[in-house]
């Protein structure tokens, strides 16, 4: 059985997930704060690790959580995320960050166990993929590109980012182009929708209310 790590600041959903997972006799470590989560996931010696994340409750930690989700790919952690249905662009972003499974938050009670069992099962067998199937995988976003996207969402301009990174404006534009290609963003309106979803998630819960709605 893999080591399971849960990050869900909202008390009600954290209780629901804990009940669903432990009902299957799986061990689970639940965390309310991101620093404690990252410390335990990185420090775990388990051969197989699965990260369970309630993205809708991240609040002010959303940007750091997205970075962590991207970073843990390097240590072979599988990630399962639930997110409100009204965030289609965020779902696309999570797909480019190597998230293994994404489910709708409204369907958490029925979708969590099947999704988790699917991830646990993939660790016990080798799946051979044909070359044409591999080509259909979405382009992944690098950590640098993710940082650029998050800085755009925070309100920084391309010029400001170029100055702070001591690079050219064209380099920032190139990173932005790669982000848009990965997310299949084709218009400026879609770009603004993507940024708006990040801002909404970030401001949904304030740091002083880390538990979210009860």
* pLDDT at residue 205 tops 70: no
Confirm whether pTM is higher than 0.85.
yes
Question: Quick check: 152 and 195 in contact, CB under 8 A?
Answer: yes
What per-residue confidence (pLDDT) applies to 142? 96
What is the Cα–Cα distance from 200 to 172, expressed in whole angstroms? Answer: 24
pLDDT in tens, 33-53: 999 999 999 999 999 999 999
Give yes or no for a contact between 169 and 158, defined as CB atoms under 8 angstroms apart: yes
pLDDT digits (tens, 9 = 90+) for 59-75: 999 999 999 999 999 99
Residue 4: phi and psi, rounded to 5, are: -110, 130
What is the average per-residue pLDDT within 197-209?
74
According to DSSP, the β-strands at 77-83 and 49-54 are parallel
Return the SS3 of 80: strand
- CATH topology (fold) of 1-214: Rossmann fold (3.40.50)
* DSSP string for 177-204: HHHHHHHT--SHHHHHHHHHHHHHHHHS
């Amino acid at each position: 059985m893999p080591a399971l790590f849960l990050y869900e600041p909202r008390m009600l959903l954290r209780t629901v997930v804990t009940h669903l997972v432990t009902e299957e006799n799986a061990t689970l470590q639940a965390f309310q704060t991101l620093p404690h989560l990252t410390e335990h996931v990185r420090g775990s010696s388990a051969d197989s690790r699965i990260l369970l994340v309630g993205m809708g409750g991240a609040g002010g930690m959303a940007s750091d959580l997205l970075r962590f989700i991207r970073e843990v790919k390097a240590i072979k952690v599988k990630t399962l995320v639930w997110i409100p249905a009204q965030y289609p662009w965020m779902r696309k972003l999570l797909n480019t960050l190597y998230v293994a499974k994404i489910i709708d938050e409204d369907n958490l009670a029925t979708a969590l166990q099947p999704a988790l069992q699917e991830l646990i099962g993939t660790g016990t067998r080798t799946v051979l993929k044909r070359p044409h199937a591999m080509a259909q995988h979405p382009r992944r976003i690098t950590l640098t590109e993710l940082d650029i996207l998050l800085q755009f969402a925070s309100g920084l301009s391309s010029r400001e980012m170029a100055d702070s990174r001591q690079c050219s404006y064209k380099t920032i534009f190139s990173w932005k182009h790669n982000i848009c290609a990965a997310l299949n963003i084709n218009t400026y309106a879609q770009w603004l929708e993507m940024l708006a979803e990040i801002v909404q998630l970030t401001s949904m819960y304030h740091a002083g209310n880390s538990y979210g709605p009860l």
